[in-house]
């Protein structure tokens, strides 16, 4: 244990002199979380990693001026870019930690604005917020000792940083809302709004998108579990999210109804690039009859036609399923005894029609991903 600690500290010291990347230090003591994070969308949100983000940016009027305003949400850890010291260029931060560990763990509060909310970061160095209901309210301060051996006698806290367990935003999910609540275009039109409604749900952004997984969160002690840090809806729909979608079927005299209950605390597939889809098929006498898919999306545009987000000033169509909504859809196909009805709800990251126009070829973005599925035998 002492050896590991000493080794970690040595690694950190060498890492700090060789490499200025923020996450490199965290990696030494939090390797599991670091590894998961590499696959998360937050580690891949720059134009150099996300081809869809790049495709839209390439067409954005601000690109000609190289004025990458998207940085405050997509690459907040490129500090020189944020402060205006440098322009958008390919660099190791854009490649590996556009939204670094610190970009989330140092959010002190969220300032609410109509255009987009704003993250207010703490100015204290090596000071991180976290959540642990057993330690709620505590601030575990790390005292810098003169020698390694002084550190080794510490029994609690982190030997590298302070931890503040008193910030409510890390318990209720509010810390996600600086970037995720909504965004308006230059003309004041709302391009995207997650339409969060907490209602009576006990779940939060964190409990659903960062559920506890087996495995310790830190090398130095065995905590049994850690919060999942790999959130991304493009590596297949996460199993743990499927359980917040409830699918049901009711037979009628003519045809049947399918209902979708969205138990998430926000609307589904709200981003204007997404396309949600319900697919129903009937297995009968060894054959499969696929019914016409039903789409859910929010189409934005101008003068009755869909447009790029910065040109849009109206919502042309909004069939997205809202928080806690139970959507019932009627299908006319008559069912027979012995039929098996297969109901699937899923999505395309990039609506295939838009993807074709943008020249997007990455199949992870253009293929249907299933979020929830149910098979029902008709009796």
Instruction: List binders of ligand HEC among 21-60 (CB under 6 A).
Output: 22-23, 25-26, 28-30, 33-34, 37, 41-42, 45, 50, 52-53, 56-57, 60
The reply on whether position 349 binds ligand HEC by CB under 6 A is yes
The region of 87-95, 158-166, 290-298, 331-339 touching ligand HEC under the rule CB under 6 A is 158-166
Which residue's structure tokens are 């976290």? 130
User: What DSSP character marks residue 273?
Assistant: T
The reply on whether position 368 binds ligand HEC by CB under 6 A is no
- Specify the residue, 180 or 300, whose C-beta has the smaller distance to ligand HEC: 180
Which residues 252-271 are close enough to bind ligand HEC by CB under 6 A? Answer: 263-266, 268-271
The reply on whether position 79 binds ligand HEC by CB under 6 A is no
Out of 81, 110, 131, 354, point to the residue binding ligand HEC (CB under 6 A): 131
Q: Long-range contacts for 22-30 (Cβ within 8 Å, ≥24 apart)?
A: 22/77, 22/97, 22/100, 22/101, 22/102, 23/96, 23/97, 23/100, 23/101, 25/160, 26/101, 28/219, 29/158, 29/160, 29/218, 29/219, 29/220, 30/101, 30/217, 30/218, 30/219
> Encoding tokens for residue 318?
């909004």
- Grouping H, G, I as helix, E, B as strand and the rest as coil, residue 299 is strand
Out of 39, 139, 234, 261, point to the residue binding ligand HEC (CB under 6 A): 234
The reply on whether position 94 binds ligand HEC by CB under 6 A is no
* CA–CA distances in Å: residue 157 to residues 112, 143, 197, 214, 333: 33, 10, 35, 21, 62
Which residues 280-299 are close enough to bind ligand HEC by CB under 6 A? Answer: none
- Specify the residue, 132 or 318, whose C-beta has the smaller distance to ligand HEC: 132
- Grouping H, G, I as helix, E, B as strand and the rest as coil, residue 174 is helix
* Site size toward ligand HEC, by CB under 6 A: 90
CB count within 10 Å of CB 209 equals: 22
Out of 81, 93, 110, 179, point to the residue binding ligand HEC (CB under 6 A): 179
* CA–CA distances in Å: residue 153 to residues 126, 157, 217, 368: 20, 11, 21, 54
Shortest Cβ 182–ligand HEC spacing (Å): 8
Shortest Cβ 144–ligand HEC spacing (Å): 13
* CA–CA distances in Å: residue 65 to residues 56, 69, 316: 15, 11, 30
Which residues 105-124 are close enough to bind ligand HEC by CB under 6 A? Answer: 105, 116
- Specify the residue, 226 or 300, whose C-beta has the smaller distance to ligand HEC: 226
Which residues 2-21 are close enough to bind ligand HEC by CB under 6 A? Answer: 8, 12
Q: Are strands 256-262 and 245-251 parallel, antiparallel or unpaired?
A: antiparallel
Shortest Cβ 141–ligand HEC spacing (Å): 11
The reply on whether position 300 binds ligand HEC by CB under 6 A is no
The reply on whether position 247 binds ligand HEC by CB under 6 A is no
Q: In whole angstroms, give the CA distance from residue 33 to residue 31.
A: 6
- Specify the residue, 125 or 287, whose C-beta has the smaller distance to ligand HEC: 125
The reply on whether position 312 binds ligand HEC by CB under 6 A is no
Q: Are strands 340-348 and 275-284 parallel, antiparallel or unpaired?
A: antiparallel
- Specify the residue, 256 or 297, whose C-beta has the smaller distance to ligand HEC: 297
Q: In whole angstroms, give the CA distance from residue 363 to residue 2.
A: 48
Shortest Cβ 154–ligand HEC spacing (Å): 9
């Amino acid at each position: 244990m002492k050896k590991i600690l000493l080794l970690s500290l040595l690694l950190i010291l060498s890492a700090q002199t060789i490499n200025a990347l923020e996450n490199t230090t965290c990696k030494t003591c939090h390797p599991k979380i670091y590894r998961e994070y590499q696959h998360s969308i937050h580690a891949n949100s720059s134009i150099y990693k996300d081809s869809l983000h790049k495709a839209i940016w390439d067409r954005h009027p601000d690109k000609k001026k190289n004025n990458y305003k998207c940085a405050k949400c997509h690459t907040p850890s490129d500090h020189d870019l944020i402060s205006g010291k440098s322009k958008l260029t390919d660099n190791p931060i854009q490649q590996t930690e556009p939204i670094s560990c610190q970009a989330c763990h140092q959010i002190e509060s969220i300032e609410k604005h109509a255009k987009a909310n704003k993250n207010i970061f703490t100015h204290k160095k090596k000071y991180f917020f976290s959540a642990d209901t057993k330690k709620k309210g505590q601030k575990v301060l790390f005292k810098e000792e003169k020698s390694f051996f002084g550190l080794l006698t510490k029994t609690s806290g982190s030997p590298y940083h302070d931890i503040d367990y008193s910030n409510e935003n890390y318990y209720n999910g509010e810390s996600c809302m600086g970037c995720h609540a909504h965004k308006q275009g230059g003309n004041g039109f709302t391009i995207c709004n997650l339409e969060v409604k907490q209602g009576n749900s006990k779940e939060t952004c964190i409990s659903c998108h960062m559920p506890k997984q087996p495995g310790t969160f830190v090398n130095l002690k065995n905590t049994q579990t850690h919060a999942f840090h790999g959130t991304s809806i493009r590596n297949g729909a996460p199993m743990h999210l499927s359980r917040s979608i409830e699918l049901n079927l009711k037979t009628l005299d003519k045809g049947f109804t399918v209902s979708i209950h969205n138990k998430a605390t926000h609307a589904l597939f709200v981003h204007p690039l997404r396309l949600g889809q319900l697919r129903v098929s009937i297995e009968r006498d060894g054959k499969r009859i696929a019914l016409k898919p039903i789409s859910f999306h929010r189409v934005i545009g101008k003068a009755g036609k869909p447009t790029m987000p910065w040109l849009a000033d109206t919502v042309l169509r909004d069939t997205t399923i809202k928080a806690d909504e139970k959507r019932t859809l009627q299908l006319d196909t008559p069912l027979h005894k012995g039929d098996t009805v297969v109901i699937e709800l899923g999505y395309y990251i990039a609506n295939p029609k838009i993807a074709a126009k943008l020249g997007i070829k990455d199949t992870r973005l253009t293929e249907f991903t299933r979020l929830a599925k149910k098979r029902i035998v008709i009796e």
